[in-house]
Structure 1
């Protein structure tokens, strides 16, 4: 191997359970993930400038949190992370997807712990934006904030909270879809969309009782599944451009966060489908298949790597994908879709693994910046959507706890 290749193989490795994370470690013998290239670093800088999060060189000491699956311990971890995130983020709340996922976690945390402060913050956010979406012709990402509007409406019953959203969804139904190009040949052309949009459409059905929203959801999800779901690997490609891509080890490229989006999307959508919807079996089967595959790929530290099928090249764990997959599995266990005897140990290991990346001040680290594929990041990297996934996982894990 050349000197240049050795340099490119230098990597940051998340170190759990140490006092600080200011140093980057290099794996002596195994292939490790390289530092960000110029384009990747530009993306990180942009994310940080938009207040999605940051990645300081030193995150400070790590938190000492109990990994026990009892409600007091789970609540303590969730509250530490949620309080830190709320305090630093509320001045910058926006309607883009990076925030929407955090909002999902905040509402879930409030409802699970009986603490209204996170839900109250979401109501302030909605009122600030007059309960409107980010754009007049919103794609799945821009529809995503609508789920929070719907959740607030379901408690408050103020029609003003969902009127603009319903108008936008109805306009989307009436507007013929026009493919921009081969990549954008369907409405939900990237797997992330299966978290962002379906839950909004499903909740609108639950609110209105109008099955047109469910018909659209089912049709579009199946188009995405037909295009991107690998029936042998039981994983989703991020989008059509990744169908032929492989990792350094020659295996197919499957992004952990992308597959977390799908598993989390099923968990966020299925509760609002009609009980007699024949498509419920389709979603349940996809959850079972994906959960089984994810469980087989779990790392020794309980977490998953950014590249699911190449654990040697992606040496450090990635928390946002891990959190979303854990959320999906915990929800599946709670709903009786997944076997608790099989998946509870997987979930326990994942929860313990995630807690190892919580800092004393509440920062949740090891979260990859925005993107579309596996990429390098610092151990301290913390971004809103990863925190949202963590809080969603916490609320379902809390339900699993006996006391």
Structure 2
């Protein structure tokens, strides 16, 4: 069977079918390919990251998609409580879970409910406040974002002892020959750098900022397209294209970068000589991403081929909404230019919340644009949604959409 035929079969339209508890599939929507289905099953059965049921039930009718803080809080609580109830038996220390934890920490701060912080404290104790592996990569470091934020509240040195030991070892190892850039994939810019800036905030040791300033811009020089103002996922995607011939820029991958930028800037001091360079890249990406927002307020899995990826992709959309809202709230982005983009993004996300608290239309784990069912929900996407809510609720002067 030729590759052309395989592609045609894997991209069969399922319009006319009904998914999501009687909701019609979007016209032109594609089924996951066989390889994507393997990933879906791995996420569900092996890692318990989430699932894509055929019948998830009805959508929620008790939520308001406005940015009124009380309305945002209701949506955040509904989704957070559903995800914690679903996932708590499986809580892990991999990157997928770590992203969820960043969102739960944001919910704890926004909702002022001690149960969320208590849940995260229990996770830290479960893993003895340790990183996933010795001399970890960025994915394995990511859980320390949660550790460090708990430390900033409890000031118990045990909480960050292993993180500090591991990061110091990585700095010491820089003198040894290396074969590749440590943060060689764009996702790493969310997973790793925010740990380093938080450790700087805790210790006031500039070596942690120096490490970021070296490594971030190595990654940027490799993966950032100066014309498109978007990141390729990794170097293997530099020359890949979408069905329409455009460059392949993955929504969630660029969401990781924008989320990583704001979480890094959050704890980066104003006197860091490189700070202005991060801000400039953030503003470039914000302008580009805002221009790619679809009429429903969301973004597609392949940013430059929205017609091919019919369903919105809500993990990337949530990360964009979070980053743009953070930029407005912290004075780095124009409220006049970006608040409406954020409001439309949030409203679009809320419309995908089901009655039980599931939030759908999230791509399974992967490295490039893919297909999924409307019900698809994953721990990392929930984390992104909670982060978005934590910033959206702080926006001022809401206006009617």
TM-score class, shorter: over 0.9
TM-score by length of 1: 0.93
Cα contact 1:12–1:316 (8 A) shared by 2: no
| CA distance in structure 1 between the aligned counterparts of 2:40 and 2:354, rounded to whole angstroms | 21
Q: SS of the residue aligned with 2:65?
A: coil
Residues matched between the structures, number: 392
Distance 1:172 1:14, change over 3 A: farther
Taking the TM superposition and a 5 Å limit, the aligned residue runs for 1:217-228 are 217-228=212-223
What does residue 12 of structure 2 align with? Answer: 10
What does residue 40 of structure 2 align with? Answer: 44
Cα contact 1:70–1:402 (8 A) shared by 2: no
What does residue 205 of structure 1 align with? Answer: 200
Moved more, 2-11 or 112-121: 2-11
**Structure 1 residues 116-166: Cα deviation after superposition (integer angstroms, max 9, x where no partner):** 211110000001111001111200000000110000110001000000110
Cα contact 1:10–1:26 (8 A) shared by 2: no
What does residue 59 of structure 2 align with? Answer: 62
| CA distance in structure 1 between the aligned counterparts of 2:158 and 2:108, rounded to whole angstroms | 22
Query: Which of 88, 95, 99 in structure 2 is aligned with 1:90?
Result: 88
| CA distance in structure 2 between the aligned counterparts of 1:11 and 1:337, rounded to whole angstroms | 42
1:4 is displaced (CA, Å) by: 7.8
What does residue 131 of structure 1 align with? Answer: 129
Query: Which of 179, 185, 188 in structure 2 is aligned with 1:190?
Result: 185
**Structure 1 residues 85-125: Cα deviation after superposition (integer angstroms, max 9, x where no partner):** 11111111111000011000000111012112111100000
Q: SS of the residue aligned with 1:399?
A: coil
Cα contact 1:12–1:34 (8 A) shared by 2: yes
Taking the TM superposition and a 5 Å limit, the aligned residue runs for 1:338-377 are 338-377=333-372
1:296 is displaced (CA, Å) by: 0.6
**Structure 1 residues 16-62: Cα deviation after superposition (integer angstroms, max 9, x where no partner):** xx9954466362xxxx4532222211111010011101111011010
Cα contact 1:366–1:377 (8 A) shared by 2: yes
Cα contact 1:153–1:159 (8 A) shared by 2: yes
Taking the TM superposition and a 5 Å limit, the aligned residue runs for 1:305-384 are 305-384=300-379
Q: SS of the residue aligned with 1:272?
A: coil
**Structure 1 residues 350-371: Cα deviation after superposition (integer angstroms, max 9, x where no partner):** 1110011100000010000000
| CA distance in structure 1 between the aligned counterparts of 2:38 and 2:303, rounded to whole angstroms | 25
1:250 aligns with 2:245: yes
Distance 1:367 1:178, change over 3 A: farther
| CA distance in structure 1 between the aligned counterparts of 2:377 and 2:290, rounded to whole angstroms | 24
Query: Which of 96, 108, 111 in structure 2 is aligned with 1:110?
Result: 108
CA RMSD of aligned residues (A): 2.0
**Structure 1 residues 272-315: Cα deviation after superposition (integer angstroms, max 9, x where no partner):** 11220121111111111111111111011100000000011111
1:35 aligns with 2:31: yes
Q: Which runs of 5+ in 1 are unaligned?
A: none
What does residue 25 of structure 1 align with? Answer: 25
| CA distance in structure 2 between the aligned counterparts of 1:14 and 1:303, rounded to whole angstroms | 23
Cα contact 1:22–1:57 (8 A) shared by 2: no
What does residue 233 of structure 1 align with? Answer: 228
| CA distance in structure 1 between the aligned counterparts of 2:290 and 2:177, rounded to whole angstroms | 38
What does residue 53 of structure 1 align with? Answer: 50
Query: Which of 117, 131, 147 in structure 2 is aligned with 1:119?
Result: 117
Q: Which runs of 5+ in 2 are unaligned?
A: none
